[in-house]
Amino acid sequence: MTSTNTGGIDAESLSVRVSDFLGEHDPGTSDRLEFLRARFDAGLAWLHYPEGLGGLGVDPGLQPGVDRAFAAAGAPDNKPHTNIIGLGMAAPSLLRFGTLEQQRRWLRPLWTGEDIWCQLFSEPGAGSDLANVATSARRDGDDWVVNGQKVWTSLAHDASWAILVARTDPTQPKHRGLTFFVCDMSARGVDVRPLRQITGESEFNEVYLDDVRIPDTQRLGEIGQGWAVTQNTLMNERVAIGAGTIPRESGAIGELAKVWRERPELRTSGLHDQVLRFWVEAEAGRLTAERLGQQQAAGLPGPEGSGAKLTYARLNQQVSALELDLLGDEALRYTDYSARRPVIVTHAESPAGWRYLRAKGNSIEGGTSEIMRNIIAERVLGLPAEARADKDVAWKDLPR
């Protein structure tokens, strides 16, 4: 690890901390979960988080060096690909808007993977226009009673907790009458139903909330502040999705490059330039996403994340299509379209046909590509905003 002075802790002193930790907790003999809990408690989980919450309050740029040191020692990781919503979206929201009690309650089991999280945002009538959500939350003493329907909820069937945006004041314009909650997915009245995808899998769900009681202690942010919390969560989400190509040659581009190198008999005239162009675009996207990830870690996710997400979706679809073209008939040997709950796998563990089909969802999930372009135009390039006649109208008075 290179030397970087930050808040009195540099890379060399972090190396010593990691070495001392590994000396006390042998990865070869330690229980996996106990090892991860101890790493969190030592502040070596996410370094930029405050002390006592898994970090040391130092530069997030030091994180990769610490992660490499643990990996080199054979230490278990927290399987981040199985809890992307928790790590990439819920945790930053908890850090920015949660109380210390909430942070202490949820961050440790979230980071260790003991608790999987999902996101109860989209609804049948509020997808791209998320501020139009109709799920209601009515105050009843120390609780909120929630009713409504959410859709396209990834991993709701595995989740212990969910971040939830609901309407608490229908007399306010749609952006101002929302409040943000943490919902216990095992609470009475939560009904999770699978949605079958083109791959045959059901990683997405629709979730019905029928008189679900949420204690006010599980409210995140102030009453009516839900849109501000949601915006922060969405910006973190887009950075998390856009960072799906880290490290170099991971994801779809890695599989395409592997086929190109190892199967020379599949190469046809004129395709080399296309493969190389996609590789360069993927590398540029990866480096951009890495920089945005550092901004995210510093608590500064910006609208630029929409560009990373847009690029990731487009490239995934183009690259997976080119791989299919290269493999020809061989790529069509994807026969398991049976309805099933997915086992989360990496690109390398799945067939090319699956990668091609699954990539179709990349331009929808986490915000459609059309919405990403609007955000880039208005909030990055400063172009005039689209006319919106409903911004100052009470939500209850809007036509449906």
Residues labelled catalytic: 237
Kindly tell me the burial class for residue 296, based on how many C-beta atoms sit within 10 Å of its own C-beta (0-12, 13-18, 19 or more): buried
Which residue's entry shows tokens 């609780």?
143
Q: Which residues lie below 8 Å from residue 145, measured CB to CB, with a gap of 6+?
A: 137, 138, 211, 212, 213
What are the angstrom distances between the C-alpha of 43 and each of 51, 54, 111?
6, 4, 12
CA separation for the pair 331, 324 (Å, rounded): 6
The beta-strand segments (E) located in the chain are: 117-120, 136-140, 143-150, 161-167, 178-184, 190-195, 204-215, 219-220
Instruction: Name the residue with tokens 């002390």.
Output: 51
Please state, in angstroms and as integers, the Cα–Cα distance from residue 154 to each residue in 95, 297, 305, 370, following that order. Answer: 22, 23, 20, 21
Alpha carbons 333 and 327: distance in angstroms, whole number: 10
Residue 201 backbone dihedrals phi, psi, to 5 degrees:
-80, 170
How far apart CA 371 and CA 365 sit, in angstroms, is 11
Q: Report the distance separating Cα 133 and Cα 149, nearest Å.
A: 9
Angle between helices 226-242 and 271-297 (to 10 degrees): 140
Cα separation, 388 vs 137, whole angstroms: 26
Residues 6+ apart with CB under 8 A from 127: 151, 152, 368
Cα angle for residues 365, 342, 75 (degrees, 5° grid): 95
